[in-house]
Structure 1
């Protein structure tokens, strides 16, 4: 998750941020968005349909957080230019910087150019933008999950798991921050009202996907959601 000096949520240390290490590909690791306002820039060359899908996923995150926290802890704000503390939306790679950094190289998006169905990953990537880390990289991930990790994931997990902070929360196999292979190892095969990482393009288009109780609980630590403790059986109200 995101790094802030006083709210380091299951992520890497201050020192390692500036050594170039990262949780996912070459991502920088940041902290909470000031006042919960996530500023983003949409380049003019992006397809209008893709931009609509991105905005729908952002709005869905806002709504789910509002319903769980009972206040608007997160607000996505489109701005007219890239700059410090601004996420640039991309359409050629499924990746995102994790949390807020006051730099000019923050980004989020999926590989829309290569595969239109990639919009299914938008909720996951925007989850990274908010500060969420991969659930399957936790030190307490069950062996059924650990046994599915490829060699690169094992190497990354070995380097990072000792620095994850979970604030006493339990591992959540329903988290949308899982990867599909790891979720399926636990029998989670679709996104329902209880969460699950297997989100479909139709769910993104219809704004009908749901984060899990664990996703919302971890965001509550970052954005002062009155320290939520939602039960694992928690399900979002019907839209």
Structure 2
């Protein structure tokens, strides 16, 4: 023992080498145990996976648009849809599937109602907003996101003055590239909350929720186009991949490039993909843009003719518009006549447009 200590004292390089090895081991251990920040819900690489490990996973069963879903009550009183970044208000949920009508009868009395539950699109395609507490960098990314939607669709964004329907865009305080958003137009209660490192990739996606769109992988026809690898999904996150039979489809066909599409590694528990195409290939990397089908779908739902038609009294606005039929399922943006009035289909109701001449 004494001879060993003597040799180490005579050769300091041995002691330094041991110290370096110990230090490297500690760094590796710390790196492997450190939990990664949660962020981008459209992540497509293992390094951007979203985690639910520290979240309260107390879910309750409700019905959304007639489909059974799991929701979690958040501190602000909204409900996260299956724990995702989509936030719903209590009146948008029900305790029974019977309360949802896929083809309600148009009723002029609806014009005097308030929110009335369900999901509603923005009147005339204008999203009014208030900004609160965003950093200069996030504001810059927000403007890029606005520009992406307005340059390609009929949707516009305007700062609120005295409008009763508007969305508040604020910081969530989370040091991450993240966001949550309420679904559709919700009076003065709608919001988008962004992490302090939020980029346009995430913000464009959250604006999609504000416009009324759910995630693309929740489409009822998704299994014809993608494979959900449930064995790779984190515990408590499986319900994020539910299928909706009643939700309005943003795109005419399934679109892996949609801004509303999750990435291949979103909610992965093991670094393996949670979503692939049918051949097992990874999905394309998310970009800060909306896809061609996103544009087509949005311009169909938010048409350039939104609002009351100005005919100057010379033309009947109901000319060429078919009478409502109980045997059809209508797409958002379609118009019908009913008992002498013109109506336009919203996500979950009919909006009165004008009386026929």
TM-score (norm 1): 0.63
- Go from structure 1 to structure 2 and tell me whether the alpha carbon gap of 1:141 and 1:151 turns closer, same or farther (over 3 Å shift): farther
Pairing 1:185–2:268 present: no
* Structure 1 contact 110–118 (Cα < 8 Å) conserved: no
| Residues 73-152 of structure 1 aligned to structure 2 (within 5 Å) | 73-79=154-160, 84-92=164-172, 94-102=179-187, 104-112=188-196, 116=197, 118-142=199-223, 144-147=226-229, 150=234, 152=236
Provide structure 1 residue ranges, at least 5 long, that are not aligned to the other structure: 1-10, 66-72, 191-197, 200-208, 228-239
Give the aligned CA root-mean-square deviation in angstroms: 3.5
Aligned residue pair count? 185
Distance 2:67 2:221 in 1: 24
Comparing both structures, which one devotes a greater share of its residues to strand? Answer: 2
Distance 2:149 2:207 in 1: 8
Please report how far the alpha carbon of residue 137 of structure 1 lies from its aligned counterpart in structure 2 after TM superposition: 0.6
Counterpart secondary structure, 1:133: coil
* Structure 2 contact 67–245 (Cα < 8 Å) conserved: no
Please report how far the alpha carbon of residue 48 of structure 1 lies from its aligned counterpart in structure 2 after TM superposition: 2.2
2:294 is matched with 215
- Go from structure 1 to structure 2 and tell me whether the alpha carbon gap of 1:96 and 1:47 turns closer, same or farther (over 3 Å shift): same
Distance 2:137 2:251 in 1: 41
TM-score (norm 2): 0.44
2:152 is matched with 64
| Residues 5-20 of structure 1 aligned to structure 2 (within 5 Å) | 12-13=64-65
Please report how far the alpha carbon of residue 13 of structure 1 lies from its aligned counterpart in structure 2 after TM superposition: 2.7
Counterpart secondary structure, 2:264: helix
- Go from structure 1 to structure 2 and tell me whether the alpha carbon gap of 1:14 and 1:55 turns closer, same or farther (over 3 Å shift): farther
Please report how far the alpha carbon of residue 223 of structure 1 lies from its aligned counterpart in structure 2 after TM superposition: 0.9
**CA-to-partner distance for each residue in 1:126-171, whole Å, 9 max, x for gaps?**
111122210001111137432255554543554x512224399221
Provide structure 2 residue ranges, at least 5 long, that are not aligned to the other structure: 1-62, 69-77, 93-118, 173-177, 267-274, 306-330, 332-357
- Go from structure 1 to structure 2 and tell me whether the alpha carbon gap of 1:145 and 1:48 turns closer, same or farther (over 3 Å shift): same
Please report how far the alpha carbon of residue 22 of structure 1 lies from its aligned counterpart in structure 2 after TM superposition: 6.1
Which protein shows a greater Rg? 2
Please report how far the alpha carbon of residue 50 of structure 1 lies from its aligned counterpart in structure 2 after TM superposition: 1.5
Please report how far the alpha carbon of residue 121 of structure 1 lies from its aligned counterpart in structure 2 after TM superposition: 0.6
